Chains A and B, each alone.
Chain A
Amino acid sequence: MYRKMSLAWRMSLLLLLGAGCILGAVAGFNYVSSRKLLERELRDEARQTSRSIACQVESVAKALEQTAKAAAYGIRRFAPGTEGIFGLLEESLRNNPEVFGMAAALEHPSWYGVTGVPYVQRQEETVLFKDLMKEGEAFRVSDWYSLPKYAEHSLWTDPYFDDLGGQALMTTYSVPIFSGEAEHKSFQGVVTADMSLEWFSAILEDISLDEGGYAFILAKNGRFISHREENWILRETIFSIAEEYGLPELRELGRRMIRGEEGFIFMKASVMGAEGWVSYVPIPAVGWSLGVLFPQKALVASVSALTRSQGSIGIIGFALLLGVILLVTRSITRPLVQLEHATRKLAEGELEAPLPHLLGDDEVARLGQSFEVMRQQLLVQIDILCATSAAKERIESELHIAQSIQMSLIPKTFPPFPEHEEFDLYALLEPAREVGGDFYDFFMADEEHICLIVGDVSGKGVPAALFMAVTRTFTKILTKNSLDPGDILFKLNNELAQDNESCMFVTIFCAIVHLPSGKCRYASGGHNPPFYIPREGMMTMLPQVKGSLAGAMEDIEFEEGAFTFRPGDTLFLYTDGVTEAMNNEQELFGEERTALALSKLKGRKALELIRELRKVLGDFAEGAEQSDDITMMAFTYGVDRKE
């Protein structure tokens, strides 16, 4: 799939993948860091928010405390009697909206000219007056009376449902009155101011927090002064909730809060309403602790919104990027595509088809130029090649002609003279791949004489073949007038040397055998001496006779040698193609090996001798290419061929 894609797409995809990885990493880092940042901001904001709420709570509580303290001072200082106390309490209640009810409970009311326990309570716009003593002395064991008495200082009670006076959920600030000083002071009673928790919670609810967030207040013993869950207020403590729901971390939070610590903690449990951070600060003046829950949802929502918008921008960006990359890669690969089309035509052989003209000097343009150069060069090379092959063909045909000439000039019919049964003759010429100038000939000079000739023309090809033809013709003509080999070669040399502008020459061996007597005369023009293989006795090379290459210069004398054949004796003529045959190690066959091979073939018929020797030569060459013509001739005197 991927490999089938075009270069432009692959490049775009790879670039996009790379860019995507980088952008993804950036986005991830961004998410984490912005979340951290937001968390830090939230923490700061939470601290600010909780401190400000704590301040508000404290100011409300402080105002109420002041009211109670002022009333206590008035009663202790002026002992105003029942009516006076009611008046004082009513006045305080009317002037301080945070106060729900007030009481003045004295240890010995009669000492102050008071009857009962005066209690005033707000009821909508009016004020109710009550005597708590009507319910008996039960008030004396209540927290609001006994705690300040024994603690000897003003304090806030736990939240409680007041069924004595207020018939409401409240917490009371209770100020003890003592007479006397230090060691001798004696408890005179308490003045209390009640705060309705319903009213107080309403104040807290007015404080705007994030969705799901809320504030709650703990008293010293972990009880809720205020909490969203109203039925927790009286019954539960933060510790009972922690116990019931198995949340040790909530218990730890509670302990920190009642110790008056300040902090910020993540609460996993959703028992608080929502998972989130609780920021807690003490409200030192009243000994309470404020907790504010900041739901994680709100934070996560803002981070998510940020991430979402970043994500969508990213996706749009990616789409645009893809488009741009495609455009760019297309513009880069367009000339490549054009080139590809053009080179395909080139490959198909349409060299004449022009290549597209590519602008600029970039790699692709240079590639195009190179292709153009290549195309031109190809055209030139093909022209040259055509010319060369034509020439070569011509040469080859010339060689062919030369070979034909060479082969057509030598006698190839064996036995050559069927009417003469007194000798056995066989000859072989194997031209090398390039035509050489070897030749052999034999003919009856007259009724009783046979002429044997072997030669090797210098050079190769048609000129050598023609020179050979000339040599052969001359030899044949000259032999008609003379039976002396020396004379024949003398005359041949003069004929060849005359007007020999191409300076060609020939080595030649000529022997004339008088068949009735077996007498043989011979002359050699620089040719390899033939081997004489007698029927009995040692094989020898014919003695060298003086004589030079024929055709080199005029008027050269050729010495004549002579011997007499005994019946069964064989004369072996050859050219240097035999002794100089080479094997793959560039080793020459040499005269010794020739002699050895011939001695082993003694007594064989001419045809067999020649063919066996050729075989020995072939074995020696081991398939190496034949470098020169191989010419061999064997003449055996006085045997009956038919034997």
Chain B
Amino acid sequence: MIYRFLRRFPISGGSKIFLAFLGCLFFLEGAFAFTPLFVLPQWSPQSQFAGIYVAYEKGFYLRHLLDVTILRGGPDADPWEYLRKGKADLVTQFLTSALEARDKGLPVVLLGQVVQKSSLMVVGRKDRGIESPEDLSGRPLSLWESSFRLGFDLLFEKRNLVPRIYPQYYSVNLFIRGVVDACVAMYYNEYHMLYQAGFNFDELSGFLLENYGFGFPEDGVYSTESFYRENPEACQAFVEATLEGWIYAREHPEEALDIVMKYVNRAHVPTNRGHMRWMLEKILPCILPASGDAWIPGVLSREEYRKTGEALMEGKLMGTFPLYEDFVPFKEYQNVP
């Protein structure tokens, strides 16, 4: 176990054995305690999780005395399921989804709000006459199931739009093949996939939920309340190390891409470096604030939290939502605006 662990250090074999020996000594003494953490990103490896992979590969977690194991995410790995069954200690997921899960009885707490801005959008084909959200009424539109829908449902409801809904799974192929005139997309993901499928940007119309007031904070790091209570330092350390990973990725994008592509290749994810570059470029400003932004990286603002909770109630997805203090356990965050 220790040897496996030390393999991650970029040092020679002989030195590894020596270090392993030293490590054993420390362990015996109990003076060198790494906290093991099993972490599940909510989706297959891609730049959306670059901070985690970079922190892992660059040894940031080890520096924080964390022995992280990154589990392979994907459509068949539901983060809440993993938490409930104890298959993962920490997971990433959208804020809306986390509030829903908590509402359904899974006591999850937010350890860090990584992605602060929404990238959800509706993409329409201009050649099918989709120029504004109003044009969506009565038109075939593919839409994700699950909590991703919330913002879109609210948009359609607020604007009295009634598109013909088709289910959208992992691909936007219904859109590409012309079955639907519009689809939902992440700005950093599917929107660019359409470009890589031959659509020029000027042939597409895009409506970001953020611009219509229905954008909610997205990826956050979650654990169960009990896990947090037992490992508060480790939880906080994980979030800090992950943000360090993101900062490193911003400074060294090509190296970060190398790392992401390593995970992509290992998981046989059918994507390419160009797409991962786009994703990294577009998601970074949602994680690390630019000079004019007021928010703090990793910290969920009370305002955003309240907005999201109220939206969920309005969407009749839940009757009430927890107090910020209950949902966000870190003492340091209690004074945030």
Q: What is the distance, in angstroms, from A249's C-beta to the closest C-beta of chain B? A: 14
A490 proximity list for chain B (CB < 8 A): none
Q: Is residue A151 contacting chain B, with contact meaning CB distance below 8 A?
A: yes
Q: Does A205 contact B (CB under 8 A)?
A: no
Contact for B197 among A151, A234, A239, A244, CB less than 8 A? A239
The stretch of A63-71, A155-163, A333-341 in contact with B is: A155-163
Residues of A204-237 whose CB lies within 8 A of B: 220-223, 234-237
CA A158 to CA B176, docked complex, whole Å: 11
Q: Is the CB of A258 within 8 A of B270?
A: no
Asked if A236 and B76 sit within 8 Å, CB to CB, the answer is no
What's the Cα separation between A587 and B91 when bound, in Å?
143
B174–A150 touching, CB < 8 Å: yes
Complex: chain B residue closest to A234, CB-CB: B270
Give residues 144-194 of A contacting B (CB, 8 Å). 146-147, 150-151, 155, 157-158, 160-161
Within 8 Å CB of A244, what residues of B?
Answer: 272-274
Number of A-B contacts (CB under 8 A): 75
Give A142 to B195 CA distance when docked, in angstroms. 22
Q: Which residues of A contact B174 (CB under 8 A)?
A: 146-147, 150-151
**Chain B positions within 8 Å of A136 at CB level:** 76
- The answer, among B76, B169, B173, B196, for a CB contact under 8 Å with A239, is B196
Which residues of B have CB within 8 Å of A143? Answer: 169, 171, 173
State whether B275 touches A240 (Cβ < 8 A): yes
Interface status of B167 (Cβ within 8 A of chain A): yes
Residue-wise interface mask of A (469-507) relative to B, using a CB-CB cutoff of 8 A (1 in contact, 0 not) = 000000000000000000000000000000000000000
Residue B166 interfacial (CB < 8 Å)? yes
| A258 contacts across to B, CB distance below 8 A | 198
Is A449 among interface residues, defined by CB-CB distance under 8 A? no
- Provide the bound-state CA to CA distance between A185 and B62, in Å: 59
In-complex Cβ contact of B198 among A146, A150, A239 (8 A): A239
Contact B177 A151 (CB under 8 A): yes
Contacts A138-B75, A221-B173; A240 near B272 (Cβ below 8 A): yes
- Choose one: B177, B197, B200; the contact of A147 (CB below 8 Å): B177
CB distance from B197 to the nearest CB of A (A): 4
CB B148 to nearest CB in A, in angstroms, measures 14
Interface residues of B in 226-277 (CB under 8 A from A): 268, 270-275
* Shortest distance from the beta carbon of A553 to any chain B beta carbon, whole Å: 140
Bound CA–CA A255/B176 (angstroms): 13
Question: In whole angstroms, what is the CA distance A222 to B271 when docked?
Answer: 13
| Contact, CB under 8 Å: A222 / B198 | yes
Interface residue? B170 (CB, 8 A): yes
> Which residues from chain A contact B270 at a C-beta distance below 8 Å?
160-161, 234-235
Is there a chain A Cβ closer than 8 Å to B25's Cβ?
no
Cβ of B336 < 8 Å from any Cβ of A?
no
Say yes or no for A359: interface residue by CB 8 A criterion. no
B198 in contact with A221 (CB, 8 Å): yes
Q: Does B296 contact A (CB under 8 A)?
A: no
Give the complex CA separation of A160 and B270 in angstroms.
8
Among A158, A222, A234, the residue within 8 A (CB) of B196 is: A222
| Bound: A251/B274 CA distance, A | 14
Shortest A298–chain B CB gap in Å is 29
Most chain A CB within 10 A, of B197, B271, B273, is at: B197
Give the interface SS of chain A, mostly helix, strand, loop or mixed: helix
**A254 interfacial contact with B, CB 8 Å:** yes
A136 — nearest CB in chain B belongs to which residue?
B76
**Residue B179 at the chain A interface, CB threshold 8 Å:** yes
Chain A: number of interface residues, binned into ranges: 20 to 34
Chain B residues in 8 Å Cβ range of A235: 270-272
How far does the alpha carbon of A157 sit from the alpha carbon of B174 in the complex, in Å? 11
Shortest distance in angstroms between B335's beta carbon and chain A's nearest beta carbon? Answer: 44
In the complex formed, the residue of B with least CB distance to A147 is: B173
Chain A residue at minimal CB-CB distance from B194: A221
Q: Nearest-CB distance from B97 to chain A (Å)? A: 18
A120-139 interface code vs B (CB 8 A; 1 in, 0 out): 00000000000000001010
Q: Report how far A64 CA is from B274 CA in the complex, Å.
A: 34
Contact residues in B for A239 (Cβ distance below 8 Å): 195-198
Give the residue name and chain of the B residue nearest to A232 (CB).
B272
Q: Which of B75, B169, B197, B273 contacts A221 (CB 8 A)?
A: B197
In the complex, the answer to whether B197 meets A155 with C-beta atoms within 8 Å is no
Shortest beta-carbon distance from B320 to chain A in Å: 32
Q: Which residues of B contact A147 (CB under 8 A)?
A: 173-174, 177, 179
A220 pairs with B177, CB closer than 8 A? yes
Contact in complex: A236, B198 (CB < 8 Å)? no
Nearest CB of A to B43, in Å: 14
In the bound complex, do residue B166 and residue A150 qualify as a contact, i.e. CB atoms below 8 Å apart? Answer: yes
A237, B166: Cβ atoms closer than 8 Å: no
Q: CA–CA, A142 to B173, complex, Å?
A: 11
Decide if B170 touches A155 in the complex (CB within 8 Å): no
User: Which B residues are CB-close (under 8 A) to A241?
Assistant: 274
**How far apart are A634's CB and chain B's nearest CB, in angstroms?**
133
Q: How far is the CB of B99 from chain A (nearest CB, A)?
A: 25
> Is B272's CB under 8 angstroms from A161's CB?
no
- In the complex, which residue of chain B has the Cβ closest to the Cβ of A159? B270
Q: A235-B271, A239-B195 are in contact. Are A155 and B177 (CB under 8 A)?
A: yes
Contact of A237 with B173 at beta-carbon distance under 8 Å, contacts A146-B167, A150-B179, A244-B272 already known: no
Q: Are B169 and A141 interface neighbours, CB within 8 A?
A: yes
Q: Once bound together, how far apart are the Cα atoms of A364 and B195, in whole Å?
A: 84
- Evaluate contact between A151 and B196: CB separation under 8 angstroms: no
CB of A243 within 8 Å of the partner chain = yes
Q: Which chain A residues border B170 with CB–CB below 8 Å?
A: 141
Identify which of B75, B179, B196 gathers the most chain A CB atoms within 10 Å of its CB: B196
CB distance from A243 to the nearest CB of B (A): 5
Which chain A positions have C-beta within 8 A of B76?
Answer: 136, 138
Q: B194-232: which residues lie under 8 A (CB-CB) from chain A?
A: 195-198, 200
Residues from chain B with Cβ under 8 Å of A236 in the complex: 272
Bound-state Cα–Cα, A138 to B76, Å: 8
Smallest Cβ-Cβ distance to B145: which chain A residue: A141
* Contact code string A341-382 (vs B, CB < 8 Å = 1, else 0): 000000000000000000000000000000000000000000
A462 CB to closest chain B CB (Å) equals 126
Q: How far is the CA of A141 from the CA of B268 in the complex (A)?
A: 19
The smallest beta-carbon distance between B243 and chain A, in angstroms, is 29
How far is B200's CA from A161's CA once the two chains are assembled, in angstroms? 27
Give Cα distance in the complex from A158 to B169, angstroms: 14
Q: Of B173, B195, B200, B275, which is within 8 A of A158 by CB? A: B173
Judge whether B197 and A222 touch: CB under 8 Å.
Answer: yes
Report A85-113 residues with CB < 8 Å from chain B CB.
none
CA distance A82 to B200 in the complex (A): 47
Contacting residues of chain B (153-177) with chain A, CB-CB under 8 angstroms:
166-167, 169-171, 173-174, 176-177
Cα distance, A334 to B234, chains bound together (Å): 110
| Chain A: CB-nearest residue to B176 | A221
Query: Which chain A residue shows the least CB distance to B268?
Result: A161
Residues of chain B contacted by A251 (CB below 8 angstroms): 198
For B270, the closest partner residue in chain A by CB is: A234
Nearest-neighbour CB distance to chain B for A259, whole angstroms, equals: 9
- What are the 7 A-B residue pairs with the smallest beta carbon separation, nearest first? A221-B197, A141-B169, A244-B274, A234-B270, A240-B196, A235-B272, A243-B274
> B residues touching A (Cβ–Cβ < 8 Å)?
75-76, 166-167, 169-171, 173-174, 176-177, 179-180, 195-198, 200, 268, 270-275
11 contacts between A and B (CB under 8 A): A141-B169, A143-B169, A147-B173, A147-B174, A151-B174, A161-B268, A221-B173, A223-B197, A239-B196, A240-B196, A240-B274
